[in-house]
Structure 1
Amino acid sequence: MTITWRDFRRARRRSRQAWALLAVTLLALLGGLGWFFTAGQFAIAEPRMAGPTEAPVLAAGWMKPVAPVRAVPSGLAVDVLAVLPVKGRAASGNYNRSVFGQAWLDVDRNGCDTRNDILRRDLAGARFTEGSRCRVGSGSFQEPYTGRTMAFRRGADSSKAVQIDHVVALGDAWQKGAQQLSPLQRQHLANDPLNLIAVDGQANQDKSASDAATWLPPNKAFRCHYVARQISVKAAYGLWVTPAEKDAMKRVLGACPGQQTIVPR
């Protein structure tokens, strides 16, 4: 069989095409491996939970607003974030919970303490304990931080499964402006329904005093509301954000550019 020059050129062209295809495949494989060992393994491992995208603030008829330092500005959360002061953390060595007053006061004067107000607001089918019109004994809800459906039952051991979280943690607030507030203003911050949500106890412990730079709810669907609520609280009580916190908030809001501030209604 005689191999012509045309056959030789055709074979060489096919060989080059095969080598080019192999090179592209190898580059794609290396790129995929690089992505996996940097961010991909975390994206794959991260739980994708369906859950609520927002949470209530007030309940009409029986829950009253708490007077903040200033009204929450209405508008885009990202615009309000842009005007919040940006500073480093203040010292926290002199912090303890008592600087925000006694826990769970009846600040809005509706006859029930704040913890039970929030449970009643957030739980579906909330039932009071026998003989009480305030103490919530049971109920269920779709928990916002994890997206799971949870049941609450009052008891020495069972109550801790559902906790009331300060959206802007009090320890974080203390390091970002709350030291300049009056005792009454700090008491209001600790009991303001805008800053309180019933959540999974373990998620609340995981969050602790973290800000948005170091902790966000595992339920991604809730993150826009969560960050907007933190911005609203900080604006209402004259608190600042750190540079890392502001960057983290902007990244979250980048996925929901129309997110509004959370104005109590």
Structure 2
Amino acid sequence: MPSYPKTLPLTALAAAVLITAGCTSDPGAPGGPAAPDGRAISPLENPDGTKPGLAPVTTDADKAAARRLIEGLSTKGRGPKTGYDRDEFGRAWMDTADGVPLARNGCDTRNDLIRRDARNLRFKDGSDCVVVAMTLQDPYTGKTIEWRKSKAAEVQIDHVVPLSYSWQMGSSRWPVSKRKQFANDVLNLIPVQGRANSAKSDSGPASWLPPARPIRCAYAVRFAQVATKYEMPVTAPDKKTMLRQCGG
């Protein structure tokens, strides 16, 4: 099992913060977005998705690299949704999908992702896998979320390239094993604010982008990384939107 940092005993102040679940702003900037998580890694430096977070793509050189990646994507129109069902991609958060990092480590995919991206982790008694409280810097909104398992829906795991989108772009013809891999690949998964994930639904970039503008190029890069890995086309409007986020 991969090594993740465990939480030190909570101080009374930290415990009080965890009890007050929800989204907060950086106390140094009242009413503004939270400060970026210093642990987050640019997707250009995290091509397998095993490192935490989604840091902005900021330099001209990195934006040029991002555009080259996006320009390499093929395009086609979205096909019909006929026959789509979540079960076509296997049981949710299975630990047994082949061909993806962190599989078969004794911990399900959801908890693997929380442990990858979150801070101040608290585990269920007797477990080094099941997270019951944590602090998440949500890349999509810039908010800091103090989360407890009793309010699980406040943090959801987003498929950057939605399963339904992939179905319409060709995964309906993939072997089941490849669909299971796609659904559990940490490259395609990010813990985010539940409301933002619900608003996104199965949209592509032309229809939905993260509310936090500084992260939009990074989001486009990650979308392109997943599409490239699985040899999946995107729609022409999605490609155009992705290029625009990175200065194209």
Q: TM-score range by the shorter chain?
A: 0.7 to 0.9
Aligned residue pairs total 193
Stretches (4+) displaced over 2 A: 47-57
> Is 1:170–2:163 an aligned residue pair?
yes
Distance 1:48 1:131, change over 3 A: closer
Cα deviation code 1:52-104 (max 9, x no counterpart): 485572159xxxxxxxxxxxxxx923222222211001110210101111100
Letter in 1 for 2:88: V
Q: How big is the shift at 1:142?
A: 1.3
The match for 2:69 is: 80
Is 2:92 the partner of 1:103? Answer: yes
- Report whether the alignment pairs 1:211 with 2:204: yes
Unaligned runs of 5+ in 2: 1-30, 53-63, 98-102
Larger proportion of helix: 1
Identity %: 42
Q: Is residue 71 of structure 2 the alignment partner of residue 58 of structure 1? A: no
Change (3 A) 1:161 1:130: same
Question: d(CA) in 1 for partners of 2:77 and 2:225?
Answer: 19
Deviation at 1:252, TM superposition (A): 0.4
2:199 is paired with a residue whose SS is helix
Counterpart check, 1:114 vs 2:109:
yes
Question: 1:50: Cα distance to partner?
Answer: 5.6
CA contact (8 A) 2:84 2:172 kept: no
In structure 1, how many angstroms separate the alpha carbons of the residues matched to 2:90 and 2:36? 31
Q: How far 1:127 sits from its partner (Å)?
A: 1.4
1:191 aligned to 2:213?
A: no
Query: TM-score, structure 1 length as denominator?
Result: 0.68
Q: Indicate the SS of the match to 2:233.
A: coil
8 Å Cα contact 2:139-2:192 kept in structure 1:
yes
Structure 1 residue 145: Cα displacement: 0.6
How far is the alpha carbon of 1:49 from its aligned partner? Answer: 4.2
Q: For residues 52 and 78 of structure 1, what CA distance do their matches in structure 2 show?
A: 23
CA distance in 1, matches of 2:32, 2:147: 24
- Between structure 1 and structure 2, the one with the greater Rg is 1
Deviations 1:193-239 (A, max 9, x none): 11000000000000000000000000011111111000000000111
Letter in 2 for 1:130: D
**2:123 pairs with 1:131:** no
Q: Measured at CA, do residues 235 and 48 of structure 1 come closer, stay the same or move farther in structure 2, by a change above 3 Å?
A: farther
C-alpha distance in structure 2 between counterparts of 1:147 and 1:166, whole Å: 18
User: Does structure 2 conserve the Cα–Cα contact (< 8 Å) formed by 1:51 and 1:143?
Assistant: no
Question: What is the RMSD computed on CA atoms of the aligned residues?
Answer: 2.1
Structure 1: runs of 5 or more not aligned: 1-46, 61-74, 258-265
Q: 1:58 to 1:179 in 2, by over 3 A?
A: same
Query: SS of the residue aligned with 1:76?
Result: helix
TM-score (norm 2): 0.73
- The answer (yes or no) to whether the contact 1:141–1:151 under 8 Å persists in 2 is yes
Q: Hey, what's the Cα distance between the residues in 2 that align with 1:149 and 1:233?
A: 26
Q: CA deviation at 1:137?
A: 0.7
- Paired residue secondary structure (1:197): strand
